[in-house]
Amino acid sequence: MDKNEKWLQWAVELQSIAQTGLWYGEGVFDKERYERIREIAADMISYKTEIPVDKVKDLFCDESGYQTPKLDTRAAIFKEDKILLVQEKNGTWSLPGGWVDVDVSIGENTVKEAKEEAGLDVTADLVIAIQDRDKHNLPVYV
């Protein structure tokens, strides 16, 4: 992670610690402290990004339970020597895919996303990689 973005890592870690404390904590005063830590983390992100704190809290603080990673799947669909890309709302190009829903497997989600984003009926034959975006290769947008 870029040295200039270390603050983001700290804010995310504070939010995660606070969320876990809110889930497992039993005392009222402990829960108040964890809630305050979560607010500070949201304030840090809002201050640095200039995103309104209410928006940050909607995205950042509405989780409950133990903090777990969010999964995203992508379908690599080949035709001869070409690979399918779809255009995202922000104008960038990507393999078809998206967030994994709670009630589906990785394979089922990949099939669903290929249908939704590219209109194709596919089968999920093989998992090519499982990576932590921040620790492996950050996506390159084209």
Section 29-47 average pLDDT:
93
Residue 79 pLDDT: 94
Q: Taking a C-beta distance cutoff of 8 angstroms, is the pair 86, 116 a contact?
A: no
Residue 130's SS3 state is coil
Q: What is the pLDDT of residues 79-95, one digit of tens each?
A: 999 999 999 888 999 99
Q: Which candidate, 62, 61, 66, 60, places its Cα nearest to that of 24?
A: 66
**For residue 41, is pLDDT > 50?**
yes
**For residue 53, is pLDDT > 80?**
yes
**For residue 142, is pLDDT > 50?**
no
Sign of the C-alpha dihedral computed for residues 94, 8, 30 and 58 taken in this order: negative
Q: Taking a C-beta distance cutoff of 8 angstroms, is the pair 111, 130 a contact?
A: no
Residue 132 pLDDT: 76
Residue 131 pLDDT: 78
Q: What is the pLDDT of residues 10-30, one digit of tens each?
A: 998 898 899 889 988 889 999
CA 131/CA 103 separation, integer angstroms: 21
Q: Taking a C-beta distance cutoff of 8 angstroms, is the pair 7, 48 a contact?
A: yes
Residue 74 pLDDT: 93
Residue 59 pLDDT: 78
Section 52-57 average pLDDT:
89
Section 94-120 average pLDDT:
92
